[in-house]
Amino acid sequence: MTLLEPGVALSDFALALECAVFAALIHTHGGHGNPLRLWFSVFLTALGIAALMGGISHGFIANQRSIIYNLIWITTLLAIGIAAWSGWAIGARLILSNKAAYWMMGAATLVLAIYVLVIIFVTRDFAVAIIHYLPAAVFLFIAFAVAYRRTRQQHLRMALYAIALMFIAVGVQQAKISLHKQYFDHNALYHLIQGVAVFLLYWSIRRLIY
């Protein structure tokens, strides 16, 4: 079986596998009374689903107007929305009181519902996903920064590096920076940097919830 874009597809599948393994480890071994256990599991699962859908579309779907491609694309956008939603929850649980976190999650859930309606009925432009995800990612970075400033715990600083790497990965992708235009293009490099970021984030998460 020949992949249409082997570098992109394989790096997507590798990222999806990494997210799946770490999500499973967090769900299995994380402290059951710790609310961050659930939200980090959701966050990594959503990232993994988005990567898996990307691997399938870049590897096997040539016709971007087909029903299958559209279903995969919708699933990808919805997964990004879930990742943003869980990002708000993680940040809120890190630095806010229970009451404030509750209200923030209510607002984040409302925003997610609007995002889903827009994706299904209005437009499936990737810019909508970026607009939806970016504020959550910025808030998550700020939350880790605040938590680190309060405690000076090194694993929280590592989480900051992880989120910063995720921003760098997006910048690399948007700037179309590649290691090899044919075999390892900007999308594959994006996945590689994301993979490193996910590993650093998991290393930090272990100290928070285990």
Q: How far apart are CA 169 and CA 161, in angstroms?
A: 12
Tell whether 121 is covered by a domain: yes
Q: 134-181, pLDDT tens digit by residue?
A: 999 999 999 999 999 999 999 999 999 999 999 999 999 888 898 877
Q: Which domain holds residue 79?
A: 6-209
Instruction: Tell which phi-psi region holds residue 152, choosing left (phi > 0), alpha (psi between -120 and 50) or beta.
Output: left
- Rounded average pLDDT over 123-130: 91
Please state, for a pLDDT cut of 70, what percent of the chain lies above it: 99
Instruction: Please say if the pLDDT value at position 209 is more than 90.
Output: no
Instruction: Please say if the pLDDT value at position 79 is more than 80.
Output: yes
The total number of structural domains in the chain stands at: 1
Retrieve residue 50's tokens.
């988005």
pLDDT at 30: 66
Nearest partner of 54 among 31, 73, 36, 79, judged by Cα: 73
pLDDT at 31: 67
CATH code for position 19: 1.20.1070.10
- Which string of b and e fits 60-92 if b means at least 16 CB within 10 Å? bbeeeeeeebeebbebbbbbbbbbbbbbbbbbb
